[in-house]
Amino acid sequence: MKKYDVIIIGGGAGGLTVASGASSLGAKVALIEKEQNLGGDCLHVGCVPSKAFIQAAKELYTARNKATSLGLTVSGETTLKQVNERVKKSIDVIQEHDSDERFTSMGIDLYKGYGRFTSDHTVLIHNEEIYGKRIVIATGSRPFVPPIKGLEEAGYWTNETIFKQEHLPKELLVIGAGPIGLELSHAMARLGSNVTVVERAPTLLSKEDSDISHVASKNLERELTFLLESEVKEVKRENGKKNVMIDVKGTMKQFTFDEILVAVGRTPNSDKLQLERAGVQMDEKGFVPTNDRLQSNVKHIYAIGDINGKYPFTHVAGEEGKTVVQNVVLGIPKKMSYNEIPWIIYTDPEIFHVGITEAEAKNKGIEYSVYKVSLEDVDRFVADHDTSGLVKIITNSKGNMIGAHAIGNGSGDWMQTVIFAMKNKKKIGDLSQMIFPYPNHAAAIQRTADLYWREKLFSGIIPKLTKTYIKWFR
């Protein structure tokens, strides 16, 4: 039986971070991956393909809708085959960075197949059993498919299959209005489908700040049809179409669609690990709970990424991987902090989120201030003729930023300065001290931070004192 310092089950973002980091520090590492290629869902059916897909849709939409204002006419239609061929090219380029050869050249032993625990220190792949002093579970998650009558028989798409399709449906039903559902719905609408989104909740984007979700909802409603407080009850396939019964706010209605995309959440890939043989506990949904050092209840077995049920983001899995390397290889009691975890919803315009919302600040009884600027007041967005959006920064009574939110073209990029400032305990006033090139999209941050100084310097007693000073001494 081969023995390793670290066994990693799962070759996605988190697993690859641990494998490369541990090996570079001198540990003997085994990496187990069930798929043919490394990279995980993010590379093959998640982050990378979806962003390539969304970008293609955005370019088509811009060409069709913006060209007319400049006297041009655009004609022709695209197919999903053409779009997904472009998506595959993006995957292939990045796949080179996650190639088998790259990791085996580091001295990592790579096993292809399902890893199953046989004890708390041993894992079986096919017919080979290996031993690990410490084991990291990084098996990710997969789309959750709700038990809707007739859905399996009628057929459906998920984020794992949409990037393999060739034909654009005229009428598309999307079940679920979470980030994945909204991103793909918006892209499909811009490619040419009539998209109807069914969501059980009464509002969209409930995890976002209310000012942001209000603007986003109004934008999305221009291109998508939403059935809120609604639920799909039954699907029947007839004459190549899908007849769908939907409970719309208590009233049953029938609709006909060409295809159905299911995007109602994720379920952890823990069912084939045989965790009970290792004594690892799961919650009722199959996630592996961890402490702040990312240890399961079995202290030498760690869980990172989607499998631990915390934040289902690739960048979080990578950061958790870095934390685990320090704990597993170096023995440094490193804790994972989620205080400044950002996320972006890649609709158009993008939605940026870091820290808490105003509602959360209010519910926690925090004394807070809000600084908010519309992109209509930022010259670069005016020049771009793209002013839909805003920036909103929430501070505590000392001016420390506890939440920052934005919606606007490229906000996921130009709001990065705020993450750095929050991470380094800078106050909102510090952002105003930066020199931003003019005209620049990030000037939206400067305009927002300037409000802080305007409030401090140009109201209250200070203007009275300076007026007296000028009168007598200047």
CATH for 359 = 3.30.390.30
224 is in an annotated binding site: no
Q: Does residue 189 sit in the same domain as residue 67?
A: no
272 is in an annotated binding site: no
pLDDT over 70 at 474, yes or no: no
Q: Residue by residue, what is the 3-state secondary structure of 43-67? A: HHCCHHHHHHHHHHHHHHHHHHHHH
Q: Does residue 136 sit in the same domain as residue 13?
A: yes
pLDDT at res. 466: 59
71 is in an annotated binding site: no
Cα end-to-end span (Å), the chain: 86
Q: Which of 311, 72, 359 has its CA nearest to residue 206?
A: 359
Longest Cα–Cα distance in the chain: 91
The answer to whether residue 340 sits within a structural domain is: no
21 is in an annotated binding site: no
The answer to whether residue 440 sits within a structural domain is: yes
192 is in an annotated binding site: no
The answer to whether residue 335 sits within a structural domain is: no
pLDDT at res. 168: 96
The answer to whether residue 343 sits within a structural domain is: no
What is the C-alpha R_g of the chain?
25
403 is in an annotated binding site: no
Which structure tokens are listed for 275?
């965790």
Q: Does residue 259 sit in the same domain as residue 272?
A: no
141 is in an annotated binding site: yes
Q: How confident is the model over 199-256, as pLDDT tens digits?
A: 999 999 999 999 999 999 999 999 999 999 999 999 999 998 999 999 999 999 999 9
306 is in an annotated binding site: yes
From the number of C-beta atoms within 10 Å of its C-beta (0-12, 13-18, 19+), residue 314 rates as buried
**Bridge partners, residue 246, by sequence:** 232, 253
Show the domain range for 362: 349-457
Q: Does residue 421 sit in the same domain as residue 305?
A: no
pLDDT over 70 at 473, yes or no: no
Count how many Cα atoms sit within 13 Å of the Cα of residue 4 in the half-sphere of its side chain. Answer: 28
pLDDT over 70 at 66, yes or no: yes
199 is in an annotated binding site: yes
pLDDT at res. 64: 86
Average per-residue pLDDT for the chain: 94
Task: Give the number of domains in the chain.
Answer: 3
Q: Does residue 70 sit in the same domain as residue 187?
A: no
Q: How confident is the model over 356-371, as pLDDT tens digits?
A: 999 999 999 999 999 9
Q: How confident is the model at residue 70 (pLDDT cuts 50, 70, 90)?
A: confident
Mean local confidence (pLDDT), 397-426: 96
Q: How confident is the model over 288-330, as pLDDT tens digits?
A: 999 999 999 999 999 999 999 999 999 999 999 999 999 999 9
Q: How far apart are alpha carbons 117 and 135 in whole angstroms?
A: 10
Which structure tokens are listed for 203?
């509002």
Instruction: Please tell me which residue, 251 or 460, carries the higher pLDDT value.
Output: 251
| Domain end position, chosen among 237, 264, 291 | 264
Q: Does residue 260 sit in the same domain as residue 276?
A: no
Q: Does residue 206 sit in the same domain as residue 227?
A: yes
pLDDT at res. 471: 61
Q: Does residue 6 sit in the same domain as residue 137?
A: yes
The answer to whether residue 336 sits within a structural domain is: no
Q: Does residue 271 sit in the same domain as residue 123?
A: yes
pLDDT over 70 at 442, yes or no: yes
Q: Does residue 132 sit in the same domain as residue 14?
A: yes
Q: Does residue 123 sit in the same domain as residue 91?
A: yes
183 is in an annotated binding site: yes
Predicted structure pTM score: 0.93
Q: Does residue 390 sit in the same domain as residue 447?
A: yes
265 is in an annotated binding site: yes
12 is in an annotated binding site: no
Q: How far apart are alpha carbons 226 and 245 in whole angstroms?
A: 15
